[in-house]
Amino acid sequence: MTDILLAARHIDASFAARDMHAGLSGLLTPKRRRQVLFDVSAEVRAGECLAVIGASGSGKTTLTRIMLGLDAADAGTVSYRGDEVARGTAGMRALRAESSIVFQDPYGSLDPRWTVERSVSEPLWLRRRALGFAFDEVGARTAQALARVGLDPRAFLDRYPCDLSGGQAQRVAIARAIVNEPKVILADEPMSAIDVAARMQILETFQSILHGSGTGSGHSGRPALIIVSHDLGVVQHIADRILVLRDGRVVETGPTDRVLGSPESDYTRRLIEAASL
CATH code assigned at 22? 3.40.50.300
User: Whole-prediction pTM value?
Assistant: 0.88
Q: Say which amino acid occupies 255.
A: P
Q: What local confidence, expressed as pLDDT, does residue 194 receive? A: 76
Output the tens digit of pLDDT for each of the chain's 277 residues. Answer: 458 999 999 999 998 876 656 555 555 666 788 999 999 999 999 999 999 999 989 999 999 999 999 999 999 999 999 999 999 999 999 999 999 999 989 899 999 999 999 999 999 888 777 777 777 888 999 999 999 888 999 999 999 999 999 889 999 999 999 998 899 999 998 887 777 777 788 888 888 888 765 444 444 568 999 999 888 888 998 999 999 999 999 999 999 999 999 999 999 999 998 875 5
| 246 within domain boundaries | yes
Q: Which of 242, 243, 232, 181 is nearest to 203 (CA)?
A: 232
Residue 139 included in any domain: no
For position 218, what pLDDT does the model report?
Answer: 45
**What is the pLDDT, as a whole number, of residue 18?**
63
- Contacts of range 198-203, beta carbons closer than 8 Å, 24 or more positions apart: 198/165, 198/166, 198/167, 198/168, 198/170, 199/167, 199/231, 199/234, 201/150, 201/167, 201/171, 202/167, 202/170, 202/171, 202/174, 203/234, 203/237, 203/238
The whole-angstrom separation of Cα 102 and Cα 172 is 10
How many structural domains does the chain have? 1
- The predicted structure's pLDDT at residue 203: 85
Beta bridge mates, 254: 242
pLDDT at 217: 40
Residue 57: inside a domain, yes or no? yes
Confidence (pLDDT) at 26: 59
Distance CA 9, CA 39 (A): 8
Range of the domain at 235: 4-98+223-274
Is 148 within the bounds of a domain?
no
